[in-house]
Structure 1
Amino acid sequence: MTTLVFLPSGETGYRWIRTADRRVVDEGEGIPAPDPDGATIAVAPAEAVTLHWAELPSRSPAQATAAARLLVTEASAAPLAELHVVVGDEGNAERPIGVVGSAVMLGWLRMLAEAGIDPVAVIPAPMLLPRPDEGYVGTVLAGSAIIRGTTCGFADEAPMTALVTGDSAPVPIERADLEAALVGAAAAPSLDLRQGVFARRRRLALDWALIRRLAVLAGLILAVTLAISLVRIAKYSFGADMLATQADLVARSGLPRGETVTDATRQLDERLSRVRGPGLGFSATSAAIFAVVRAVPGSEVTALDFQPNGTVRLSVAVERESLATDLKTAFEAAGFTVQAGVFQAADGRVAGDLTLSTGGGA
């Protein structure tokens, strides 16, 4: 159902016509009762809107409007900045152009808002009439006489109408044709003044069903994410426990059979210390000592005694006395603390003892 609300003109107040099922079902004067299920279209008085027709570019509404404003500038005495120019479409090469004062348009919308009406469109009254193939048609609609031609539309005023129509008198429109034209214009207006700055603002309607579905989906996503995190944490925890168990089993296998296990790591460290000896251990210390001796030509080890405290009593023989000093210096450079004994010459060689300690590491 669509309600056409005719704006006041002169001494004529509000009037309205209501259409439904492709016919006029009701009409009256004053402000119509609101119809929450139907649309409301405002009808502008014919004398307040100037109509033109011209061939305009159809690539975009902006291009068509810009071209229309240039045409209106040449045909209007009012400054272009004070005019509201819109372009319509009737399916022909020549497109209708509506021109109305911006202040007038603003006044109409404010007046309608005060009456509790927010129209979906504002149509000039002549654009409600059917477009004739030739000549002119006329009728009285909502108390106002209007004329429509193929490329014109205006209020029927006797002196002016004769000047425009000439010898072609307007043909009255039959009631059935008028109702069909009203229904068609209400369904698809060929020229709507609610464009540009006066376009109807769309109200944001919240789709609560969609919001609820999105909330459920968000909750499911969060739940799945949390479940994934919990599974990952449990997997890491089980893996850590398994590794700890395996490490404990390996540690137990390294301890003497029958030994009670209280702290496998500490017990393995103690056993390793006992096996390798104090300090750096026998193997590491011996390797370091023989490496130093090999690096000093003319020297040899005659005896090696690894003490329980990690020190080494080393008996060496060198070819000459100076090599004993070189050997001592080499051991110190390798990180050993050296205490030299008395070296004596015998059988063409110099022999003596060195006491070596690592002092924490070689």
Structure 2
Amino acid sequence: MIRWLAFLDGDGSHWLRLDDDVATARGPGLPAVADGDALIAVVPGTAVVLHWVELPPLAPAQALAAARLLAADVSGAPVADVHVAIGAPDAEGFRPMALVDRGAMAVWLAQLAAAGLDPDRIVPLPMLLPVPAGADDVTVLAASGHDHVRGQRLAFSAEPGLTPLLIGDRNAERIDLARFDAGLDASLADLPIDLRQGEFARVQAWRVEQGQTRRIALTLAAALALWLVGDAAVLFRTSLAADRAEQQLADAARTVLPRGTAIDAPRAQVAARLASLGGAGQGLTGLAAALLGALQGRPAATLQSLGYTPDTGLTALVAVPGADDGQAIAAGLAAAGVEARIGSPRPDNGVTVVDVMVRPR
């Protein structure tokens, strides 16, 4: 495996070639990278501020949003001008957080693009140094007129005169370029952070290889068939739910119609009964119609059971595919002019359900 490291340091840019993680060549300027070889751009540590932050387990987008909030507190520049990148958490939940000027990121990528290069990753130089075993130890590399320092949850580049002030009483082990090259295999195997995130993430081009066209067509056809089958299944479940609702509506109608009444059109019969009693039109039929109307806009939600009493109103158990479906049903009922209470989602026989109570306003 061939990997190239492009060290971007103004006019002093240089490259290093690794064959199976062993340094085999180096030279000035930018490398000529062949197709299939990996390229890692190494940027000056003086241009990147590194912090270690503790974040709870979050999805990548949420973690990055939380990091941007933290960056606003520690950044000396407006956060809108700062590119924020975060790494994977360690065993104790701490993540490296890198702050770098957005303009600097754009300049580095433009410099590489002018040479026909698109790096797989962008890494600050101090993050390539060996991590010392002791919490009070640091590794120091002198290169390009700066000291590059790496410790546990510590990494920075500074002028040599400032290094003692910044590392304090930590034990410093200085290494040379040969030692740095020898440790690259371990550093690259577990890079803690990559600056190519967010707006600067690498765009992966996708090309159809020769001979893949038929396989892709068959895959798309299979996916379409599955989609159609799934859609038919949803329609079938919706139809069953509607049939159940009609039966449950007929059963509920018997509770409000005179004993012995033959039920053939429950909605019309209950409406007529309400009219004869001077009802407001929001009894069983009105409440059920409102509920079914709200469910009609959520085809994936299915009615599991239905009940009605004049005192408590309409009660229903509805299977919902997502947590937001309950609120959507509540909004539909509110728009229909009835009062609704939606319970919290809960498991029931392998599906997620919510209890719905509907009353006249």
**Contact 1:41/1:186 (8 A) holds in 2:** no
Verify: 1:62 aligned to 2:61, yes or no. Answer: yes
**Which structure's CA Rg is the greater one?**
1
Partner of 2:131: 131
Partner of 1:166: 168
**Contact 2:72/2:79 (8 A) holds in 1:** yes
Partner of 2:185: 183
Verify: 1:17 aligned to 2:19, yes or no. Answer: no
Partner of 1:72: 71
Say which SS state the counterpart of residue 46 (structure 2) adopts. helix
Q: Distance in 2 between the 1:144 and 1:40 partners? A: 24
Partner of 1:207: 209
* CA spacing shift, 1:180–1:54, aligned 2, 3 Å: farther
Q: Alpha-carbon deviation of 1:144?
A: 5.0
Identity among equivalent positions (%) equals: 39
* TM-score where L is the length of structure 2: 0.55
Q: Distance in 2 between the 1:8 and 1:177 partners? A: 21
Q: Alpha-carbon deviation of 1:179?
A: 3.1
String of CA shifts for 1:45-104, please: whole Å, max 9, x gaps: 010000000111233112221222122111112111111001112633221111001111
Q: Distance in 2 between the 1:63 and 1:215 partners? A: 36
* CA spacing shift, 1:151–1:124, aligned 2, 3 Å: same
Q: Alpha-carbon deviation of 1:160?
A: 2.0
Partner of 2:156: 154
Partner of 1:192: 194
Say which SS state the counterpart of residue 28 (structure 1) adopts. strand
Partner of 2:4: 3
**Contact 1:13/1:30 (8 A) holds in 2:** yes
Partner of 1:100: 100
Q: Distance in 1 between the 2:106 and 2:219 partners? A: 45
Matches within 5 A, 1:184-263: 184-212=186-214
Q: Distance in 2 between the 1:144 and 1:36 partners? A: 33
Q: Distance in 2 between the 1:121 and 1:92 partners? A: 23
String of CA shifts for 1:248-303, please: whole Å, max 9, x gaps: xxxxxxxxxxxxxxxxxxxxxxxxxxxxxxxxxxxxxxxxxxxxxxxxxxxxxxxx
Q: Alpha-carbon deviation of 1:189?
A: 2.3
Verify: 1:110 aligned to 2:110, yes or no. Answer: yes
Matches within 5 A, 1:30-45: 30-45=29-44
Q: Alpha-carbon deviation of 1:170?
A: 2.0
Given residue 148 of structure 2, which amino acid in structure 1 is its aligned partner?
I
Given residue 206 of structure 2, which amino acid in structure 1 is its aligned partner?
L
Q: Distance in 1 between the 2:80 and 2:19 partners? A: 39
**Contact 2:3/2:21 (8 A) holds in 1:** no
* CA spacing shift, 1:217–1:118, aligned 2, 3 Å: closer
* CA spacing shift, 1:102–1:217, aligned 2, 3 Å: closer
Say which SS state the counterpart of residue 142 (structure 2) adopts. strand
Given residue 157 of structure 1, which amino acid in structure 2 is its aligned partner?
E
Given residue 115 of structure 2, which amino acid in structure 1 is its aligned partner?
A
* CA spacing shift, 1:14–1:207, aligned 2, 3 Å: same
* CA spacing shift, 1:80–1:217, aligned 2, 3 Å: closer
Q: Alpha-carbon deviation of 1:143?
A: 6.7
Q: Distance in 2 between the 1:191 and 1:217 partners? A: 36
| Unmatched 5+ stretches in structure 1 | 219-362
* CA spacing shift, 1:156–1:212, aligned 2, 3 Å: same
**Contact 1:130/1:181 (8 A) holds in 2:** yes
Say which SS state the counterpart of residue 170 (structure 1) adopts. strand
**Contact 2:48/2:98 (8 A) holds in 1:** yes
**Contact 1:2/1:186 (8 A) holds in 2:** no
**Contact 1:16/1:142 (8 A) holds in 2:** no
Say which SS state the counterpart of residue 209 (structure 1) adopts. coil
Say which SS state the counterpart of residue 138 (structure 1) adopts. strand
Q: Distance in 2 between the 1:209 and 1:143 partners? A: 53
**Contact 1:19/1:183 (8 A) holds in 2:** no
Given residue 137 of structure 1, which amino acid in structure 2 is its aligned partner?
T
Q: Distance in 2 between the 1:175 and 1:90 partners? A: 29
Question: How many residues were matched structurally?
Answer: 216
Q: Distance in 1 between the 2:183 and 2:56 partners? A: 27
Q: Distance in 2 between the 1:57 and 1:124 partners? A: 25
| Unmatched 5+ stretches in structure 2 | 221-361
Q: What root-mean-square deviation, in Å, do the aligned CA atoms of Structure 1 and Structure 2 show? A: 2.5
Q: Distance in 1 between the 2:83 and 2:31 partners? A: 27
Q: Distance in 2 between the 1:196 and 1:119 partners? A: 15
